[in-house]
Structures are given as C-alpha cells and as structure tokens.
Chains A and B, each alone.
Chain A
Amino acid sequence: MDAVDVSEHYEVTAADNSPSLLSIVLDTNPRAWAALDSSLSLAQAISNILVFVNAHLAFSNANQVAVIAAHVNRAVWLYPALQHPSSTTVKDNSGDVQMHDASAETSLPPPSANKYPQFAQIESSVFSSIQTLMAETTVQDLDQLTTQLSGALTLALCRINKAAQALSSSDTTLSNAAPVNATAPPPVKGRIVVVSVSDSDPSQYIPTMNAVFAAAHNQVAIDTISLAGDSTFLQQACFNTNGIFLKAANPRGLLTYLMFGLIPDTEARASLITPTHDTVDFRTACFCHGKVVDTGYVCSVCLSIFCTPPDNAECLTCGTVLALGNYGAKPAVLPRKKKKKKKIANGSGREETGSATGTPRP
C-alpha cells in the first residue's frame, strides 16, 4: 500500500515556473469554413478557441497569448492587433505621455463586471480584427485555395523570439549571439497551436520548413488540430518539433480536442502521455512533375528531387550537367562473338615446333 502513498506529492518544491507563450494560428480560409459550416461554423470555432485561450491564461499570471490569422492571401495579427498610427500616445513638449481614459481612447465597450478584463480585451480585439479581415477579403482573393501558413508561423516565431529575449538577459550578450543550439531550457515555453482546415500548399514547402527548423532550434513545439483537409506539412512540422498532431474526426467537438489534447505546455508534456504520431507521411513531391514519390533522384548541387533521371542529364533547377552514375542506363547488349575461323592445325601456317603455345608476337 506504500505504493499509493501520495505524501511525496507535497514534498515537491515549487519550481520557478517560466511563463508560457501560446500562439494560435487560425486558418481562416473562407471556402474551407463554408464547407465545414454544417458541423462547425467559424464563429463557433472562434468562441471555442477563446475559451481555450482563457484557460491557458488562467494557469498563470505570467502566461501570454498571441492569435494570428492565416488568411487566403496574407497572414494577419488578430491579437495583439496592429495599432493604427492615429491611436498612438501623444507626447507633449516635456516628453510626458498624455493620460487618457481607456474607454475614451478606444471604442471598447465598457468593461463588464462579470468578466475578467484581460479576457474581454482579447475577445474584442479578436472579434474586431477578424471582422475587418473578412470585410477586406475580395472575390479575387477567394481564387486561392490554400492559406498563408508559412507567414503565420514566421510571425508567431518572431513574437516568441522577442518575448524570450525580453525575459533573458544572458541571451542577448554578444558572446551568445552566434546561433548555437543551447541545451539550457528557454526562458519562455513557447508553443504554436495551428487550427488547420485546408490543404498544404506545395509552393510554401521551403518557407514552412524553414519556420519548422527555426521552431525546433528555439525549442518551440508546433501543435496541430486538423479539422479538414490534408495538412502533410503540418504533420511533418509536429513530428520535427515534438508537437502534437490531432486529426479531429468530429469537428463539432473542437473545444474538447483543445482542452484535452492541447492544453499542457511543453514542460508539463514531459510527465504526460501525449497523443502519438502513428504514421507520418514523409514522402515528397518531385520538382519535375509534382508527383509524390518515395524513391527519387536528387541533384547533388541544388538538392532538387526528380522522379526520373532528367533528360540530357541536366538538372532542371540549376542547369548543372550531372553524372548520372548507373541510373537509367540502358542494359548493355553484348555483341555476339564472331566465330573465329579455326586455322587448320596441320596446315601450312607454321612449322611444327613441338611446343603447345605459339611464339609470342611483338
């Protein structure tokens, strides 16, 4: 029975918990959300995500949140929203900042007594930004089928990097400015949760992968909840950064997926059993036909991938003439041996010398 004694639990000293920065990348592809509308509308999804955000903030006072929209043609900050030049604080001649009432400066509704002000602030910022985003979307923008995922990931990483630098003094000294993979834990537990509804865009492969490697370098986990679509890149991203990839079979339960699967931060995950990646598709698309291949030919100069050896042994990307090695070579046909006419042994060819071998010729 000693095994179930929980007294050890109380002996754990309170560790110095570093703040956790949660960045949410919301895929706002209008077509994909319209297709999903019967089970989960965008408005419902946003309110579910806001509950998730509030839960994250409630864990610790130091926790931070950023929300980014990956739209069809651009990536936009939803929270903290970009401030317009008109609403900046005005300094008077002595350099003091003019004080305003919070409600006078911005058009926020008066704070409700029933809501924690920070929650209300995030909510209003996200709602107003997404309304402007949708209002600015034109019909031409809808021609694109995928979203600007790489941009949203890049923005989220820049934000996490800035937050980490603000909190650590040692990282900014010159001796550490060189990009060395530090084994020490980062000052901010950053992670990115992607709510994905659309397919991966092959043209964004390299920027997305650059972002993924930067995330792995800074020990930022990328988690994905995929509501619809085939998000191969995100699957690889989650695998490379030790994140969680969840495919939501039932999009209506978004909040449940978020709260049960994605709420623990990177530190808490070490002591939990997280959803595993059973199979990850690592096949790649060839540069010549866009075919998905599992065995390909790679140019040693520019690392382009081809599904068949290119014509004239010339790389299609960099134009280098490649030594093909033995690939794609035609099987060599042996020329049939022509029968040599046998010389008549006892003929007048040469004199009988008695030795079996003939005289060596020069």
Chain B
Amino acid sequence: MADSDGEFVADDMSDDDIMDHTVTDGDPNAARPKGSKPAKRKRDRNGGSKAWEQSRRTWETDLPEESDGMLNLAGYEAERRRRLLRDTTPLQRGIIRHLVLVLDMSFAMAEKDLLPTRYRLALSYAAAFVREYFEQNPISQLAIVGMRDGVALRVSDMGGNPAEHLERLREYEGQDPSGNPSLQNALEMCRGALFHAPSHGTREVLIIYGALLSSDPGDIHDTINNLVAERIRVSVVGLSAQVAICAELCSRTNVGDDSQYNVAMDETHFKELFLALTTPPVNRTKEQSTASLLMMGFPSRTLAPGGTSSYCACHSQPCREGYLCTRCGVKVCRLPSECPACGLTLILSTHLARSYHHLFPLRNWVEVPWAEAARSTACFSCQSPFPEPPKANKEKGKDEAAPAKAPAKGVSESGRYKCQVCDHHFCIDCDVFAHMVIHNCPGCQSQSQQAAAAAAPLTDGVEANGNGHTTNGGMMAIDG
C-alpha cells in the first residue's frame, strides 16, 4: 500500500473498480439492508455494494444542498420517521420480564472497528441498556453475565435495582478483554439464573457476541435443546459477522423466528439493535404466555410519626419515610420489592402504568399533502409555524420540479403530520416526541371523548388510541 489516503485512486483502475471501492454514502433514500438476512447478502454479492460498505459513519452523512443553498433535510427527516413508524397492532407482550444480558469479554472485543473499542462501546451501551430497560419495564428483573477466558463470569445477580447493575458494570470498565468466549458455558449459567423465574414471566437471554468462535466443553446442541424445553428465548447481537450456531440458537429458541439474530454494521446500528431489546417481546405461543393472577400490594408512602426514624426491613437502615406492606405492615424503603416478612409483591401503581403503552400503542400519524395543508398554520402542540402552501401562480414551475425532488418515503411534503383520530396537524419533532417518549396524542388528549367522536365519526378507533381504559375488550391478539 503506497498511500493510505482514501482519495488515492491508481491510474490503471478501470471504472468498475473505482465503483467497487467507493463507499456509498450519500443516498439516504435507499433502504438499509438488514444485516441478518443471509439470502439478501448473497444477492448483494452479485451486484451493488456490500452491507458493510453501506454503513455510515457520522462524518460520511453529508447533507445534500439544494440549489438555493438550503440544506435538504428530507433524508434526515425520513430517517427519524423510519425509526418511529412501527406496527401498532396491540400484540400480547411479556410484560413481566426476566432477562440475562450476556456480554462478550473475549479477545475479539479488543478490536477497534467500533470506536473506541468494541469492549468499551459495549459496556457504555450496556449501561444505557440497563437504564432504559428498567424505565420501560419497572417490574422486571435483570442479570448480567460475562464471557471471558473460556468460562462464564457472573457480573451481577438477578435483581430489579438498576443502580446495583450499573455499579457492577463500572467495575469491569478498567479491565481488558481476554481469552476465548464460551457460548455454552454462558448459556448454562443463564439457564441456572432463569431456573427460578415464575411461569407468568418471560425468560430471555440477550447475547452481545463479538467473536466468531466459541470454545465449549460439550455439545452445544444439547444446551439448545434444554433451552427450548425451558422456554428460554435467546437474542443475539453480533459485532463481526454472521455465525451459523447463533442463527440456529435464535431461531430454535424463538419458535422459528430468525429476526432475533442481527449483526451490527456501525455504532449507531449497534445501539439501535441493542436498545430495541428493551421493548417487551411478543408472545407467540400458548406456552410462552402462561397467564396468571398475581396478588400485589399498593402501599402508600408514609412518614414515621413525630419526625422519628425507624429501621426498614429490607436493608436494616434507619429511614424516615417508607412504605408499609399492606398485608403485614412491615416497612420497606424502596419499591418495587417483595415484602421481606410475608413475601407479598409490593409495587407502585405507577409502575404498572409505565407498561401500558406497550399494550396499547399510539397509532402512527400520516403525512399531509399540500392539498390539505392550508387549514393549519402552526403545529397544534408546540405552536411552531409550518411552511406555507405554495402559491397558485407558482404552480406551473412546481409541477416541473416535483418529480425531480419527490420527498423520501414517510416524509410529509408539507411538513405536517396528521393524527387520524383527532385530525390535528403536528410537526416532525412533536411526532417523534409523541411516539417515542410521551405515548399520548396531544390532539386527542386535548378534547373530550364526545368531541373526538363528533370530529371523527368514521373512525371507530377513537377509543383504542393509546388509552387502555376505554379499549374495546379482547383485542390483544397472539401472533402466529
């Protein structure tokens, strides 16, 4: 290699060669291929670019400029819309989760293809995962296991306190990855950790796998059979390339669904795949969804009388405020927890409310064409002004230009997005915020149910819009 500069092109290269070596970046409209589909990869090999060539670094995402010098943000908006457009069928999900996060800490994690290193990046995303997991699933449990030096390493035990997991993860930040990973040892440890998980909860394993090998003491197919028998679901996020045993592992433990094995292309994609697992999994078979009725206590927060402090039963520490078990009256200092005296599950009702949006998702909003755009001048929720509809006298010029710059899929040409239930118009920022964070439609919530029904008499789905109370019963479907 005479020159490591990316722009160096040897004179004797043919045009085809140049095309092969150019990293494709600019076209944001092209759908990103899923790294998981082997068939697709084979197709890509014949023509077009490789999957890893389509990965985009932050410095490669150049925003195209339009003729008048304005940045064309359509691709950027399309990317944001793509993230939040999802299936809004209210599927039955495993809300009470038991998940083991398995982190690869083997030699393969010292690679620097993900910056700063795979190991450092995986640990920092794992911390983000822990926080997000407990925010999305407050009544769930998590454990963390590492794979290094051919053995499985217990990082943190099954528990519901995010601070504990984060503290244990921080201890591993200073250490270096070493040795071979062992998939079988890690899976056997997960099997042990999930053995006591109650039947109404899910049993899940998420593996972050950087290596392309696994040094196992025995036959891993036996372990997979055991996992299937104990209805443990395994998801794998690969960091280097697709491995056959991981694909088999995921598809066998997920009732033939192979979408649980993905290979990350770059940092952003890795984070996206990693954090996608914070959403509760869909129940597919009857065996996965053993429903049961759980007795729970909803204690109120009380102060010890007269400004005194008393000991809590869970940590034996003096504290002034706490929650009294509704059955036996024992004092615990933080929720959710199990009463140390009588074993009753004690939670806040807000913890239950946190999970309702998974069960009753907010419907996607639709794009608004210019023809309908005239009736709104500003976003309903944040009051930021919309672009004005094009004038009639400019119509001719626009018609010629229109096919040239047809907006990307999912992007509204008028910058407006409409809720189909309440017919209000919103901007892209509020669209993202409403669907990703707040899970409420600002328009539907701002008018009473009668008014909403009067405004949109055609839609019978007024009730089902992200509001669990008024949903028409029995509409959660079991997929497949």
Show the binding face of A for B, using Cβ within 8 Å: 72-77, 80, 82-83, 85, 88, 91, 144, 148, 150-152, 154-155, 157-159, 161-162, 165, 173-175, 177-181, 202-203, 205-207, 209-214, 217-218, 236, 239-240, 277-284, 293-303, 305-306, 309-310, 313, 315-325, 327
A161 cross-chain contacts in B, Cβ below 8 A: 382, 429-430, 433, 437
Top 6 A-B residue pairs of the complex, sorted by shortest distance between their CB atoms: A151-B446, A151-B445, A284-B349, A158-B381, A209-B353, A214-B438
Closest CB of chain B to A310's CB: distance in Å? 8
* Contact A316-B293, Cβ < 8 Å, known A154-B446, A161-B429: no
**456-475 of chain B: CB within 8 A of chain A:** 466-471, 473-474
**Cβ–Cβ contact B293 & A211, under 8 A:** no
Is B61 part of the contact surface with A, judged by Cβ < 8 Å? yes
* Contact A212-B95, Cβ < 8 Å, known A74-B447, A161-B382: no
**Cβ–Cβ contact B466 & A210, under 8 A:** yes
Is B409 part of the contact surface with A, judged by Cβ < 8 Å? no
Closest CB of chain A to B435's CB: distance in Å? 10
**Cβ–Cβ contact A205 & B476, under 8 A:** no
Determine which of B349, B434, B450 lies in contact with A305 in the assembled complex, contact meaning CB atoms within 8 Å. B349
Is B242 part of the contact surface with A, judged by Cβ < 8 Å? no
A158 cross-chain contacts in B, Cβ below 8 A: 381-382, 430, 433-434, 438, 442
Q: In the docked arrangement, what's the CA distance between A210 and B350, Å?
A: 10
**Cβ–Cβ contact B95 & A303, under 8 A:** yes
Q: In the docked arrangement, what's the CA distance between A155 and B384, Å?
A: 12
Most buried by B among A174, A280, A299, A303: A303
**Cβ–Cβ contact A154 & B381, under 8 A:** yes
Is B378 part of the contact surface with A, judged by Cβ < 8 Å? yes
**252-306 of chain B: CB within 8 A of chain A:** 267-268, 271-272, 275, 289-303
Q: In the docked arrangement, what's the CA distance between A72 and B470, Å?
A: 19
**360-383 of chain B: CB within 8 A of chain A:** 360, 374-375, 377-378, 381-383
**Cβ–Cβ contact A162 & B291, under 8 A:** no
* Contact A151-B442, Cβ < 8 Å, known A282-B299, A319-B473, A319-B474: yes
Determine which of A154, A203, A236, A320 lies in contact with B438 in the assembled complex, contact meaning CB atoms within 8 Å. A154
A85 cross-chain contacts in B, Cβ below 8 A: 374-375, 377
B58 cross-chain contacts in A, Cβ below 8 A: 173, 175
**Cβ–Cβ contact A282 & B95, under 8 A:** no
Known contacts A83-B378, A175-B58, A214-B437, then 13 further A-B pairs from the complex at CB < 8 Å, ordered by chain A residue: A158-B381, A162-B429, A205-B353, A206-B356, A209-B350, A212-B350, A282-B301, A295-B327, A296-B295, A303-B355, A318-B474, A322-B292, A325-B295
**Cβ–Cβ contact A207 & B383, under 8 A:** no
Is B135 part of the contact surface with A, judged by Cβ < 8 Å? yes
* Contact A323-B290, Cβ < 8 Å, known A214-B437, A295-B295: yes
* Contact A323-B436, Cβ < 8 Å, known A295-B298, A300-B96: no
**Cβ–Cβ contact B377 & A324, under 8 A:** no
**Cβ–Cβ contact B298 & A279, under 8 A:** no
**Cβ–Cβ contact B301 & A279, under 8 A:** yes
Closest CB of chain A to B87's CB: distance in Å? 18
**Cβ–Cβ contact B430 & A315, under 8 A:** no
B148 cross-chain contacts in A, Cβ below 8 A: none
Closest CB of chain A to B425's CB: distance in Å? 12
B438 cross-chain contacts in A, Cβ below 8 A: 154, 157-158, 210-211, 214
Is B414 part of the contact surface with A, judged by Cβ < 8 Å? no
**Cβ–Cβ contact B448 & A179, under 8 A:** no
**Cβ–Cβ contact A283 & B132, under 8 A:** no
Task: Return 30 A-B CB contacts under 8 Å, by A number.
Answer: A73-B451, A74-B448, A77-B383, A154-B438, A154-B440, A159-B383, A161-B437, A178-B83, A178-B271, A178-B272, A180-B131, A181-B132, A206-B356, A209-B356, A214-B437, A218-B437, A282-B350, A293-B298, A295-B298, A296-B296, A300-B291, A302-B476, A303-B95, A317-B468, A318-B474, A319-B473, A319-B474, A321-B291, A322-B293, A325-B292
**Cβ–Cβ contact A155 & B469, under 8 A:** no
Instruction: Name which residue of chain A comes closest to B335, CB basis.
Output: A282
Show the binding face of B for A, using Cβ within 8 Å: 58, 61, 76, 79-80, 83, 92, 95-96, 128, 131-132, 135, 199-201, 267-268, 271-272, 275, 289-303, 323, 326-327, 344, 348-350, 352-357, 359-360, 374-375, 377-378, 381-384, 388, 427, 429-430, 432-434, 436-442, 444-448, 450-451, 466-471, 473-474, 476
Closest CB of chain A to B416's CB: distance in Å? 14
A295 cross-chain contacts in B, Cβ below 8 A: 295-298, 326-327, 344
Q: In the docked arrangement, what's the CA distance between A116 and B381, Å?
A: 28
Instruction: Name which residue of chain B comes closest to A236, CB basis.
Output: B350
* Contact A175-B350, Cβ < 8 Å, known A159-B383, A162-B430, A295-B298: no
A279 cross-chain contacts in B, Cβ below 8 A: 300-303
A240 cross-chain contacts in B, Cβ below 8 A: 350
B132 cross-chain contacts in A, Cβ below 8 A: 179-181
Instruction: Name which residue of chain A comes closest to B61, CB basis.
Output: A174
B199 cross-chain contacts in A, Cβ below 8 A: 323
Q: In the docked arrangement, what's the CA distance between A220 and B445, Å?
A: 19
**Cβ–Cβ contact A155 & B381, under 8 A:** yes
B471 cross-chain contacts in A, Cβ below 8 A: 317
**Cβ–Cβ contact A75 & B446, under 8 A:** yes
* Contact A181-B135, Cβ < 8 Å, known A293-B298, A295-B344: yes
Q: In the docked arrangement, what's the CA distance between A221 and B303, Å?
A: 22
Instruction: Name which residue of chain B comes closest to A306, CB basis.
Output: B293
**Cβ–Cβ contact A152 & B430, under 8 A:** no
**Cβ–Cβ contact A154 & B299, under 8 A:** no
Q: In the docked arrangement, what's the CA distance between A295 and B440, Å?
A: 29
Q: In the docked arrangement, what's the CA distance between A178 and B436, Å?
A: 8
Q: In the docked arrangement, what's the CA distance between A303 and B267, Å?
A: 36
**Cβ–Cβ contact B267 & A175, under 8 A:** yes
Determine which of B95, B201, B293, B349 lies in contact with A313 in the assembled complex, contact meaning CB atoms within 8 Å. B293
B302 cross-chain contacts in A, Cβ below 8 A: 279
**Cβ–Cβ contact B293 & A324, under 8 A:** yes
Closest CB of chain B to A215's CB: distance in Å? 9
**Cβ–Cβ contact B359 & A303, under 8 A:** yes
Most buried by A among B299, B302, B427, B429: B429
**Cβ–Cβ contact A278 & B303, under 8 A:** yes
